[in-house]
Amino acid sequence: MELGKHSALELADLIRRRQISVTEAVKDTLDQIDRQEKEIHAYLYIDKKNALARAKQVEKKIAAGDMKGPLAGVPVAVKDNICMKGGKTTCASKILENFVAPYNAHVIDRLEQAGMVILGKTNMDEFAMGSTTETSAYGVTRNPWNTGRVPGGSSGGSCAAVAAGEAFLALGSDTGGSIRQPSAFCGVTGLKPTYGTVSRYGLVAYASSLDQIGPIGKNTADCAAFLEVLSGHDEKDSTSVKREDLDFSSALGKEVRGMRIGVPKEFIGQGLQPAVRQAFMDAMKAFSGMGASVEFLSLKTVDYMIPAYYLIASAEASSNLERFDGVKYGRRAADCAGLHDMYRKTRTEGFGPEVKRRIMLGSFVLSSGYYEAYYLKALKTRALIRQDFDRAFADFDVLLAPAAPFTAPEIGSSLRDPLAMYLGDIHTVAANLCGLPALSLPCGRDESGLPIGLQIIGDCFQEKKILRAASAFEACRGAFSMAWEKEAD
C-alpha cells in the first residue's frame, strides 16, 4: 500500500500529472481490499471487473482532456442504500436481498460525470437504522483500528472502507448522525450537508425529512471537493434547495482569527468518556489558540432532542418502509395463505429486529388516538429546537460538540439495550432535526488508541464556515494517520 498515504485530491493530481494511471490506482485499492476485507468486511459487493473497465474508460477521457474534474480517477465506495443502475442495492436487509435498481441515484450520475470510479457497495445498519453497523443482515463490519470494535453506524462500511484504505472517498447517508458518528469511530472526516443540498433521489428513504447524503474522506479538503461533486439542485427531489455558494473548497486554508465559536455546555455534561472530554477540551483550546473566540452557551432543548428524533424518524420510517411487501421487488415469503399473510410473513422474515422495532413504534405514534400526543408533539418540539439553534447562530459562527460521547464500543455490546444505544446519538440528531450542516473530524485518540471525533455544526447553508474551522483545526492538529498506518506512529 503506497498510494494509500495520499488523499483523494493528491491521488487525482498524480493521475492528472500521469505519475500514475487510473488503472493502477484502482488495482492498488483493490489489492488493499483483498488484504483486509476478510477481517473488516466494509463492503457488501465489490465489482472488480466493472471498476477496472471503468478505470480504463476514465483514463482515456482524462488523456483526451474530456474529464478535468479535481477528483477524476479516484476510487470511491457507495453506501448500499444508494441506488445504482444494474447493481444490487439491499440496504443491508434480507427483504431487498436480490433487488437490482433499474436506475441511478442522482449522486451516482454526479460521481460518474466527475470521473470517479465506483468500487462497490458498503455495509450499513439495516435501512440505516442503527449506530454500529451490527444490524446489517449480512454480517458486521469491524473497526479497522480494532477489529473487536464496531465501526459505528449506520454508514459504518463507508467509514471503515476509507479508514482501511479500501477507498479514497465514500458516500454515506446521515439521518441522525450516520455519517458523523462512524467517521468519529473510524478516525475519518465526514460531512452531513445542509438538508436539501445533495439530492435524495435514489437514496432509499429511512426518514425523509432527516436523511441527507454526504461525503466521507481522509480529510476536510477531500470532503469539500467531494461535496462540490455531489451538491446542486435536482428537479427530481422536491426538497432539493437551489443554492449558489457551492464552491466549498474556497473556504479551506483560511485562518479562524475572529471567528465566534460556541460550545453548548449541555453537550459536554455527564456521560462523556473522559478521553473524549479531554480531547474535546484540547480542541477548544486549539481554537482559542488560533485566535477564535470560544464561548459556552446553553441549548435548553438538549434533553428533548433524542425523544423528538426517535418519534419523527420512526414515524416516517414506518411509512417509508411500507413499500417492502413482496409485491414489486425483493423477497417474498413462500407458502402464503392469501395476501395479508404474504405481507406479514414477507415483512416478518425480511426485516431485522431493529427495523421492526422502529416500524412498530412509528406505526403506533401515528395511529389514531396517539398522533397528537406523540408525533405532533415531536414536530412542535422540533420547531422549538430549531429556535434554540437560531438563537445560538445569532451569536456564533459555528458550534463545537463531540461527535459521540464515547469511542467505538465493542462488537455485541450495544444492541442489548436499544435505548442506551439511542442515547449515544445525543450529539448528532439535532443537526438532522434542524437541517443543519455538521462535520466530524478526528481530534485525538483514547487510551486504547481509538479515534475521537470533533463535531463542528453550522447554521443552514454555512458549510463554508464549518470547513474553514475544520481545515484550520486540521492544520493545527497535524496529520492524523489512517488505521492501517497505526503501527507506524
Partner 1 sequence: MTHIIDDEILDNVCTLAQLNLSPKEREGAKAEMQKMLDFVEKLEELDTEGVEPMSHVFPLRNVFREDEVRNGDRREEMLANAPKKKDGQFQVPKTVE
Partner 2 sequence: MKQYETVIGLEVHVELATRTKIFCGCSTAFGGEPNTHTCPVCAGLPGSLPVLNKKVVEFALAAGLAAHCEIHRLTKFDRKNYFYPDNPQNYQISQLYVPICHDGWLEIETGAGKKKIRIHEMHMEEDAGKLIHDEWEDCSLVDYNRSGVPLIEIVSEPDMRSAEEVIAYLEKLRYTLQYLGVSDCKLQEGSMRADVNLSVREAGSRELGTRTEMKNLNSFKAISRAIEGERRRQIELLEAEKPVQQETRRWDDNKEYSYAMRSKEDAKDYRYFPDPDLPPVEISEDWIRDIRSRQPELRDEKMPRYQAEYRLSAYEAGILTDSRHLAGLFEETAKACKSPKKAANWFLGEVLRLQKEDGLDPEQVCFLPEYLAALIQSLDDGKISAQNAKLVFEKVFRENIEPLAYIEEHGLKIVEDSGALEAAVREALAANPGPFSELKGGKEKVYGFFVGQVMQRMKGKANPAGVRQMLEKIVKES
Where on the chain is the footprint of partner 1 (CB under 8 A)? Answer: 98-100, 102-103, 195-196, 209, 235, 238-239, 241, 301, 303-304, 307-308, 310-311, 318, 322, 325-332, 336, 338-345, 347-348, 351, 356-357, 359-361, 363-364, 367, 370, 373-374, 376-384, 386, 418-419, 434-435, 460
SS3 assignment for 241-277: CCCCCCCHHHHCCCCCCCCEEEEEHHHHCCCCCHHHH
Q: Are 152 and 230 in contact (CB under 8 A)?
A: no
| 203 interacts with partner 2 by CB under 8 A | yes
Q: Is 233 in the site for partner 2 (CB under 8 A)?
A: no
Backbone angles phi, psi at 119, to 5 degrees: -90, -40
Q: Residue 42 has which C-alpha cell?
A: 466494509
For partner 2, the binding residue among 50, 250, 319, 481 (CB under 8 A) is 319
Of 139-147, 149-157, 202-210, 397-405, the segment contacting partner 2 by CB under 8 A is 202-210
Alpha carbons 98 and 119: distance in angstroms, whole number? 19
Q: Which stretch binds partner 2 (CB under 8 A): 18-26, 55-63, 235-243, 350-358?
A: 235-243
Work out what residue 415 binds among partner 1, partner 2, none; the CB cut-off runs from 5 to 8 Å by kind. Answer: none
Task: Give the C-alpha separation, 455 to 159, whole Å.
Answer: 16
Strand 438-445 and strand 189-192: the pairing is antiparallel
Q: Does the active-site annotation cover 178?
A: yes
Catalytic residue among 131, 155, 178, 249: 178
Rounded CA-CA distance 420/266 in Å is 18
Contact status: 237 vs partner 2 (CB under 8 A): yes
Q: Which is nearer to partner 2, 261 or 317 (CB)?
A: 317
Q: Which residues have CB under 8 Å from 227's CB, separation 6+? A: 191, 193, 197, 198, 214, 215, 246, 248, 463
Query: Which of partner 2, partner 1, none interacts with 438 (beta carbon under 5 to 8 A by kind)?
Result: none
Q: How far is CA 152 from CA 50, 141, 406, 432, in A?
A: 29, 9, 11, 17
Q: Does 281 bind partner 2 (CB under 8 A)?
A: no
* Cα 356 from chain centroid (whole Å): 22
The residue within the footprint of partner 2, chosen from 66, 235, 372, 410 (CB under 8 A), is: 235
CA distances from 306 to 137, 309, 340 (A): 25, 5, 34
Q: Is the peptide bond before 448 cis (omega within 30 degrees of 0)?
A: no
Active site residue 79: yes
Which partner, partner 1, partner 2, none, binds residue 315 by CB below 5 to 8 Å per kind?
A: partner 2
Residue type, 237: D
Spatial separation of the C-alpha atoms in residues 315 and 321, rounded to whole Å: 10
Q: Does 238 bind partner 2 (CB under 8 A)?
A: yes
Residue 316 engages partner 2 in binding (rule: CB under 8 A): yes
Kindly name the residue from 93, 131, 136, 154 that is annotated as catalytic. 154
Check binding of 176 to partner 2 (CB under 8 A).
no
Q: Which is nearer to partner 2, 384 or 423 (CB)?
A: 384
Partner whose footprint covers residue 377, from partner 2, partner 1, none (CB < 5 to 8 Å by kind): partner 1
**Which of residues 202 and 264 has its CB atom nearest to partner 2 in the complex?**
202
Q: Which of partner 2, partner 1, none sits in contact with 391, Cβ below 5 to 8 A by type?
A: none
Residue pair 313/359 in contact by the 8 Å Cβ criterion: no
Q: Which three cell numbers stand for residue 484?
A: 492501517
Contact call for residue 323 and partner 2 (CB under 8 A): yes
Give the whole-angstrom CA distance, residue 94 versus residue 124.
13
List the x/- string, 72-91, binding to partner 2 by CB under 8 A. ----------xx-----x-x
Which of 340, 478, 487, 488 is in the footprint of partner 2 by CB under 8 A? Answer: 340
**Strands ordered across the beta sheet of 293-297:** 43-46, 117-122, 75-79, 169-174, 212-217, 189-192, 438-445, 451-458, 398-402, 260-264, 293-297
Element holding 161 (H helix, E strand): helix 156-163
Other C-beta atoms within 10 Å of 468: how many?
A: 24
User: Is residue 154 annotated as a catalytic residue, yes or no?
Assistant: yes
447: which DSSP letter?
Answer: T
Binding segment for partner 2 (CB under 8 A), chosen from 134-142, 247-255, 338-346, 476-484, is: 338-346
**Smallest separation (angstroms) from partner 1 to the CB of 239:** 7
- Cβ 340 to partner 2 shortest distance, Å: 4
Among 13, 329, 418, 446, indicate the residue that binds partner 2 (CB under 8 A). 329
Q: How far is residue 238 from each of residues 73, 208, 315, 335, measured CA to CA in Å?
A: 31, 11, 20, 40
Q: Which does 204 bind (CB under 5 to 8 A by kind): partner 2, partner 1, none?
A: partner 2
Residue among 247, 255, 289, 327 that touches partner 2 (CB under 8 A): 327
- Beta bridge partners, 171, equal 78, 215
> Quick check: 322 binds partner 2 (CB under 8 A)?
yes
Establish if 351 lies at the interface with partner 2 (CB under 8 A).
no
CB within 8 Å of 423: residues ≥ 6 apart = 271, 306
Min CB(449)–partner 1 separation in Å: 34
Under the rule (CB under 8 A), what is the footprint of partner 2?
82-83, 89, 91, 96, 99, 101-103, 105, 200-205, 207-209, 235-239, 315-316, 318-319, 322-325, 327-329, 339-340, 343, 363, 366-368, 371, 375
Q: Which residues are annotated as catalytic?
A: 79, 154, 178
